[in-house]
């Protein structure tokens, strides 16, 4: 939830907003695409960004969305006071085309600023500077060789690439660089053109596994990947330094100005460099992610409890990924989690509720998730008068978080204020926030008093936001049966 909207809701609880939640596919732009600029984006309340699914840009790890571009985009959307809507690129070669057609407002990808690209799009203030390097595999048995022997068997000068084959995407800056390099060294380098659905990380992996011989990559990306593939060499530079930036439509001048101002401001903050280092410098964390079964580029799993969550979601008739998002919200999948209120375990059940549901101190994960799911089902049945399924789920989640009685109070207050008591979005959610203030929790229709309304408000919102990420990365089909041993 961006800071602007939260402030507006807390200060102007009786006003209607233009918020819209997504449960399935991303919504389309409502304004005329070519004319969308900052004013239209802020009026719409949404920034539509195109992003790549890759090991550094945007991915899921242990149930949490992560990525360099993802983290920066969240901060940008917050700064603009709008909701971030992510569109996954299916073809990296078509990213600029999708921007030009107005399908998105910004391309958040590590694009090298080139004269040719500047004819088509506007580039924001650069994010960082890097250079392109050759990615090649060390010779077989390299661990037993001397350093000199290894160097003798690998390319150390671009001239040695004459007559050899380098694999890159056609519309990438790497393709243009190989073309130019061939002219500069006066000999042809054969280009093996790869399709745009290969991320640079995947192409680097192809080199490591012997599927292709050479590729080009930005040095920071090549280096972090080489930390996991020790048989790779990324020491040969093939370009001068290049600025890396995001792309916008030339017509979106105000959005470009706002983005530039935001980037310049961010560069003065420590967090900006912490985020960069997290994805391009911290090699230990990168290796830990890459080998994890809960890294979405690997096995498409959210947690080690996926099979149990899938089975128990049937009690509710919910998408199992939605239940998984709720459990992450409660405990981050930590079975030993305990809150300051005394709630415990994966589902953060209060002691009294756990006892009513037959959950003992020695209950295993399956018993805890089953009990929590049964409690959710009880709450869901209490909102039978809510006919919209998504709204009913949101009422259920709010009640799970702050108690059924407080949600009833919010519904009563909504009716009193002329709002709809069967709609959570923009109606009852405003009243749950209102119950934090004396004039509201002391109202005659309110029976159960004060509640920290921001908690259930954010609780529901964040579960659905995370669910939106889960839908992008994780298939709905039943996850593979696997042992719950290990982490």
Query: Quick one: 220 exposed, middle or buried, by C-beta within 10 A (0-12, 13-18, 19+)?
Result: buried
Report residue 409 CA to chain centroid gap: 35
User: Which residue is associated with the tokens 């890459």?
Assistant: 290
Separation CA 54–CA 407 (nearest Å): 40
Alpha-carbon separation of residue 465 from 20, 24, 39, 286, 368 (angstroms): 12, 11, 24, 25, 24
Separation CA 327–CA 305 (nearest Å): 10
Contact 13, 433 (CB under 8 A): yes
Please confirm, yes or no, whether 330 is among the known catalytic residues: yes
3-state secondary structure of 348: coil
Query: Quick one: 323 exposed, middle or buried, by C-beta within 10 A (0-12, 13-18, 19+)?
Result: buried
Q: CA dihedral defined by 48, 53, 56, 61, rounded to 10 degrees?
A: 100
Question: ∠ CA 189-195-196 to the nearest 5 degrees?
Answer: 115
Question: ∠ CA 128-133-139 to the nearest 5 degrees?
Answer: 145
3-state secondary structure of 366: helix
- Give 218's strand partners: 132
Separation CA 53–CA 141 (nearest Å): 33
Cβ atoms within 10 A of the Cβ of 298, count? 14
Q: Which of 69, 71, 83, 330 is catalytic?
A: 330
User: In terms of Cα–Cα distance, which of 415, 299, 401, 297 is closest to 353?
Assistant: 401
User: In terms of Cα–Cα distance, which of 411, 415, 383, 413 is closest to 397?
Assistant: 383
Contact 344, 352 (CB under 8 A): no
Return the active site residues.
330
């Amino acid at each position: 939830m961006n800071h602007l909207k939260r402030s507006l809701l807390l200060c102007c609880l009786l006003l209607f907003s233009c918020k819209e939640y997504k449960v399935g596919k991303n919504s389309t732009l409502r304004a005329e695409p070519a004319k969308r600029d900052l004013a239209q984006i802020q009026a719409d309340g949404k920034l539509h960004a195109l992003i790549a699914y890759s090991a550094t840009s945007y991915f899921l790890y242990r149930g949490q969305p992560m990525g360099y571009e993802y983290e920066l985009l969240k901060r940008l959307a917050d700064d603009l006071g709008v909701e971030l809507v992510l569109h996954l690129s299916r073809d990296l070669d078509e990213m600029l085309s999708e921007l030009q057609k107005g399908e998105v407002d910004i391309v958040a990808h590590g694009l090298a600023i080139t004269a040719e690209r500047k004819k088509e799009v506007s580039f924001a203030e650069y994010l960082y500077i890097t250079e392109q390097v050759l990615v090649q595999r060390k010779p077989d048995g390299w661990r037993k060789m001397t350093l000199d022997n290894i160097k003798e068997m690998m390319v150390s000068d671009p001239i040695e690439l004459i007559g050899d084959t380098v694999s890159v995407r056609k519309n990438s800056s790497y393709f243009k660089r190989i073309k130019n390099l061939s002219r500069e060294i006066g000999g042809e380098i054969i280009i093996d053109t790869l399709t745009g659905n290969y991320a640079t990380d995947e192409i680097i992996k192809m080199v490591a596994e012997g599927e292709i011989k050479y590729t080009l990559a930005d040095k920071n990306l090549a280096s972090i990947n080489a930390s996991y593939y020790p048989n790779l060499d990324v020491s040969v530079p093939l370009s001068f330094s290049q600025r890396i930036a995001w792309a916008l439509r030339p017509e979106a001048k105000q959005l470009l100005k706002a983005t530039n101002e935001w980037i310049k401001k961010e560069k003065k903050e420590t967090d900006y460099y912490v985020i960069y280092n997290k994805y391009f410098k911290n090699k230990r964390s990168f290796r830990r992610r890459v080998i994890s079964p809960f890294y979405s580029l690997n096995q498409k799993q959210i947690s080690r409890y996926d099979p149990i969550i899938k089975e128990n979601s049937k009690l509710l008739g919910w998408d199992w990924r939605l239940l998984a998002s709720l459990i992450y919200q409660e405990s981050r999948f930590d079975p030993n989690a305990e809150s300051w209120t005394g709630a415990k375990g994966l589902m953060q059940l209060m002691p009294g509720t756990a006892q009513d549901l037959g959950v003992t101190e020695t209950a295993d994960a399956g018993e805890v998730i089953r009990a929590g799911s049964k409690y959710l089902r009880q709450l869901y049945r209490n909102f039978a008068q809510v006919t919209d399924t998504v709204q009913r789920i949101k009422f259920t989640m709010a009640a799970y978080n702050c108690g059924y009685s407080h949600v009833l109070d919010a519904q009563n207050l909504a009716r009193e204020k002329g709002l709809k008591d069967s709609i959570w979005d923009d109606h009852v959610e405003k009243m749950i926030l209102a119950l934090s203030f004396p004039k509201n929790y002391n109202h005659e229709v309110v029976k159960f008093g004060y509640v920290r309304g921001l908690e259930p408000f954010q609780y529901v919102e964040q579960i659905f936001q995370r669910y939106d990420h889960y839908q992008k990365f994780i298939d709905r089909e039943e996850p593979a049966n696997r042992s719950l041993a290990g982490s």
